[in-house]
A and B are shown apart, each in its own frame.
Chain A
């Protein structure tokens, strides 16, 4: 749990001296306000051995010199020419990414983005306004890459790259979750996610990094998944859940299998779904669904991670980790790929995968073997989202559903940032929920769909050492949930993201006790009427169903 008690935090976010609460910082110029690291406001740096492993597997100096360093120290053991590396790195990226170049030039500082950022709303820290976050980088850009900046210096908003600036970058580009909410409101579509990506790439070049991102990335490279589960453990974990399914439904599923050649569909999930509560219930939902429709699928232990922590470092590592999906689909000879519920995984799949690792010409255009629907929207990438797949099944009446089995749930739906603003997956999950639940309530309209608020812990910020920050960043989301909890008695926050399932759990526990978190597929699993099942008296997490609460034999 967070270090600060919730009562104290509740007062602090409203009354604390911050730009959100109307207090104007003393210093007239933000450039004069130094970034100060204290325990709790930064993520721990990458372990030397982890950085060395990644550097060995993805050579090219992208991750700097492996070393042990302290964030609070004034000696980060940077390479001697670190400034040159940063400036050269900026130049390279300006030449490679039009987004970066245009976004560096055309901001007018209208401030429309300012109060759109969950981190600003929760912390009131001026440098968490997206515009100022970008200015941290833009000021250096002006200094080294624009005529006005070169001649006029600070008068033109330019400043030199210094260690102080580097510290600022490390602080504030790790208080951005690349959720893109600001870019919805920006009149020029300036996307802070792009800017944060660039800044993080630059920081990595000089070996400034966080372990919470690099260790899962290195695990993913070696064992196939973030958690570092080796193949036999991954299999065991997944199979263990068959016991739970049997207990709830009375059915022993036979369809779960791994690394099977010739399956029609390769199913890729965020690995947390076989390991962590409440993701495991989502996983049970997937398995019940596939059994129900008799899908010919397989799960790979080699490509056992849908998520991509590489995407939180640089485009190169993102590509390397993502490459496993197509490689494995090819090796197994499947026809197409189905993807589980995960946010940033789908940002990568939807907007990057085909470009980086395609063309997937060895696969077929995805076609549902049950309904015959051809997923034209995935004609090139050959990968379909489980919500698209499930919505199609329901629409065609292929699922036998008993929504009353979710009657003990009063559900709302959290749009995860990436599927919402990097994909446009909004109505599919809602359609599913409305068919498998009887009680569904939307949160207020400027907190859902394309205006959804981040859980506050995306892009590898879901680590324990910055709990206070996470609870602050997640406040806008939690507040909207609280609204429907108080108004409609909502007790279940559903989502289609594995990071959400982990982080919203902590967030709800902190701000809205009593609200649980689930994946949409868990609700599907609860509602599915399986052939030959026993009469269910509990849901997939052994919670009693509505009307069964008094039954002592429920478990």
Chain B
């Protein structure tokens, strides 16, 4: 159900763009207005979200220590998985952001007769996530050619590298293949693995289909359905320089593509896609494990919370303590002559 709902939403979006671009003024709306609005929502939303996170303090220093801590000088510290310095934290974060180090640890557990638990290596999720993210990055960078004139040299190099296999005309980009392959894997994994299917929400399928839709329309445009590249570049450079114009026919597939991209941009800050920003602010990863070395300050630490006082403790137990020979701060008061016990009843 949740898969179907997500797919239908994305198909509806495709339809909206297909039809919308055909109505008078539609190309302006879908080619200029909506992309600008989406970008605006993205920037405001993204910045707002990150600022929102940053506004909440980090009251305690709670890194997850994933290796030996800095301890006695002769005990070898694991400086990357249990860093005690800023340099170590930067190293840990770089590995996390660029190589998905935590995900690389992934294992798969099975229970068999015995009962016996068996753990196997499971790097697929790591591999395909990494493939997806890097392919996405390459594709994004390649798109810079649409917004720059003249095109920077590194872009040409990147394009050449991406098309190194020299297959087909126009040359097939490997990143496109990797992108679709990885996305398909991530989708299939979500549907096939019972555990992951059970936890998956529309919030998970929708962005998958949306990104897949962007990929597919992009590929269609490049390899199968002719669009006017000159006109497109004119529009995109115009968008980048805040003087957009639409001249001539572009082809509706382009409007579908750019509309889906716009939806993705606007959706991004309000969705799980914000993990892209969240990773940098995650207190279990971005803090040094030095909380006994350097005092961490909690801005809302309440000085009024005090322990049950020693004086109160001794007052309650003084007699026992004296009897047991435990030192006390205040000696027992000399017992007044035992008063006449009240008449027993």
Which of B139-147, B252-260, B319-327 is the contact stretch? B319-327
Q: A132 CA to B199 CA in the complex, in Å?
A: 6
Verify A423–B65 contact, CB threshold 8 A.
yes
Q: A321 CA to B1 CA in the complex, in Å?
A: 50
Give the residue of A30, A108, A352, A354 whose beta carbon is less than 8 angstroms from that of B204.
A108
Which 8 A-B pairs have CB atoms at the shortest separation, nearest pair first? A424-B69, A106-B278, A323-B307, A232-B324, A424-B65, A189-B284, A189-B285, A381-B292
Verify A14–B114 contact, CB threshold 8 A.
yes
**Those of A177-191 within 8 Å (CB) of chain B:** 180, 183-191
Q: A156 CA to B207 CA in the complex, in Å?
A: 12
Chain B min CB distance to A335 (Å): 16
Verify A428–B72 contact, CB threshold 8 A.
yes
Residues in B with CB closer than 8 Å to A20 are: 111
Verify A221–B308 contact, CB threshold 8 A.
yes
Instruction: Determine whether A87 belongs to the interface, using a CB cutoff of 8 Å to chain B.
Output: no
With CB as the reference atom, state the residue of chain A lying closest to B323. Answer: A232
Q: A449 CA to B58 CA in the complex, in Å?
A: 26
Instruction: Determine whether B66 belongs to the interface, using a CB cutoff of 8 Å to chain A.
Output: yes
Instruction: Determine whether B82 belongs to the interface, using a CB cutoff of 8 Å to chain A.
Output: yes
Verify A108–B272 contact, CB threshold 8 A.
yes
Verify B307–A324 contact, CB threshold 8 A.
yes
Given A379-B292, A422-B62, 20 further pairs, Cβ under 8 A? A13-B111, A28-B1, A106-B272, A106-B277, A108-B204, A109-B200, A132-B199, A148-B203, A180-B64, A188-B282, A190-B282, A223-B317, A231-B326, A236-B324, A331-B310, A355-B61, A421-B65, A424-B69, A475-B115, A475-B117
A98 with B283: in contact, given A108-B272, A109-B200, A189-B102 (CB under 8 Å)?
Answer: yes
Pairs A–B under 8 Å by Cβ, sample size 15: A19-B194, A28-B1, A109-B196, A110-B196, A116-B109, A126-B199, A155-B5, A156-B203, A183-B64, A187-B129, A232-B320, A323-B306, A349-B292, A391-B72, A475-B117
Q: A148 CA to B207 CA in the complex, in Å?
A: 14
Q: A174 CA to B108 CA in the complex, in Å?
A: 25
Verify B202–A427 contact, CB threshold 8 A.
no
Residue of B5, B57, B281, B326 contacting most chain A CB atoms (<10 Å):
B326
Verify B65–A422 contact, CB threshold 8 A.
yes
Chain B min CB distance to A118 (Å): 10
Verify A126–B198 contact, CB threshold 8 A.
yes
Verify A99–B129 contact, CB threshold 8 A.
no
Residues in B with CB closer than 8 Å to A476 are: 109, 117
Which of B23-31, B225-233, B239-247, B295-303 is the contact stretch? B295-303
A112 with B71: in contact, given A13-B111, A323-B306, A420-B65 (CB under 8 Å)?
Answer: no
* Residue-wise interface mask of B (195-238) relative to A, using a CB-CB cutoff of 8 A (1 in contact, 0 not): 11111111110000000000000000000000000000000000
Instruction: Determine whether B330 belongs to the interface, using a CB cutoff of 8 Å to chain A.
Output: no
Verify B278–A359 contact, CB threshold 8 A.
no
Interface of chain A: mostly helix, strand, loop or mixed:
helix
Verify B65–A185 contact, CB threshold 8 A.
no
Verify B71–A191 contact, CB threshold 8 A.
no
Residues in A with CB closer than 8 Å to B5 are: 155
Which of A89-97, A266-274, A487-495, A533-541 is the contact stretch? A89-97
Interface of chain B: mostly helix, strand, loop or mixed:
loop
Give the residue of B57, B195, B323 whose beta carbon is less than 8 angstroms from that of A114.
B195
With CB as the reference atom, state the residue of chain B lying closest to A155. Answer: B202
Residues in B with CB closer than 8 Å to A259 are: 326-327
Instruction: Determine whether A356 belongs to the interface, using a CB cutoff of 8 Å to chain B.
Output: yes
Instruction: Determine whether B75 belongs to the interface, using a CB cutoff of 8 Å to chain A.
Output: yes
B-side interface residues toward A, CB under 8 Å?
1, 5, 49, 52-62, 64-72, 74-76, 78, 81-82, 84, 96, 100, 102-103, 105-109, 111-117, 119, 125, 129, 193-204, 270-272, 274-275, 277-279, 281-285, 289-298, 300-302, 305-310, 313-314, 316-317, 320-321, 323-327
Instruction: Determine whether A88 belongs to the interface, using a CB cutoff of 8 Å to chain B.
Output: no
Residues in B with CB closer than 8 Å to A422 are: 62, 64-65
A232 with B326: in contact, given A101-B56, A355-B298 (CB under 8 Å)?
Answer: yes
Chain B min CB distance to A255 (Å): 16
Q: A223 CA to B317 CA in the complex, in Å?
A: 9
**Those of A217-266 within 8 Å (CB) of chain B:** 221-224, 230-232, 235-236, 258-261
Q: A42 CA to B306 CA in the complex, in Å?
A: 32
* Residue-wise interface mask of A (367-393) relative to B, using a CB-CB cutoff of 8 A (1 in contact, 0 not): 000000101111111010000100110
Instruction: Determine whether A115 belongs to the interface, using a CB cutoff of 8 Å to chain B.
Output: yes
With CB as the reference atom, state the residue of chain A lying closest to B117. Answer: A479
Q: A376 CA to B56 CA in the complex, in Å?
A: 31
Q: A21 CA to B277 CA in the complex, in Å?
A: 36
Verify A377–B113 contact, CB threshold 8 A.
no
Instruction: Determine whether A35 belongs to the interface, using a CB cutoff of 8 Å to chain B.
Output: no
Q: A259 CA to B313 CA in the complex, in Å?
A: 13
Q: A22 CA to B194 CA in the complex, in Å?
A: 7
Chain B min CB distance to A27 (Å): 10
Residue of A115, A155, A187, A191 contacting most chain B CB atoms (<10 Å):
A187
With CB as the reference atom, state the residue of chain B lying closest to A139. Answer: B201
Give the residue of B53, B111, B290 whose beta carbon is less than 8 angstroms from that of A98.
B53
Verify B196–A114 contact, CB threshold 8 A.
yes
* Residue-wise interface mask of A (49-71) relative to B, using a CB-CB cutoff of 8 A (1 in contact, 0 not): 00000000110000000000000
Chain A min CB distance to B92 (Å): 10
